[in-house]
Amino acid sequence: MNTIDIIKYKLFVMIVLLLSFTIQAQETDLKKSSWSLQTGFMGLYLNNEIRFSEKLALRNEMGIEMTSRTLLCNKDIPFVITTEPRFYFSGLNAGKSWFYP
């Protein structure tokens, strides 16, 4: 084994160790509110999700949405506002299935 192979091996081991430490450095607490921007082929939306508990959240969404009618008929671009509850059930009990006993 020459010195270049030893350096490559040490570099590989250091990269693997650094990646494993960054994977462990994730936040475990829940954020009370989160904002996101969602784009699509013919729309642009701004989302806000407010958490009430680990399982229950309220998602508010504002955006503009273009359809074939707005493009072909020169109509105004509709402004969309939605509010919907969210219920998160997966990932809370890791390894335990809620569907199968």
The answer to whether the pTM exceeds 0.75 is no
Handedness of CA 22, 28, 33, 39 (dihedral sign): positive
- Sorted by where each starts, the structural domains of the chain and their CATH numbers stand as 3-87 (2.20.25.110)
d(CA 51, CA 93): 18
Residue 8: exposure state from Cβ atoms within 10 A (0-12, 13-18, ≥19): exposed
Average pLDDT over residues 72-101: 70
21-35, 49-63, 68-82: range with highest mean pLDDT: 49-63
pLDDT of residue 93: 54
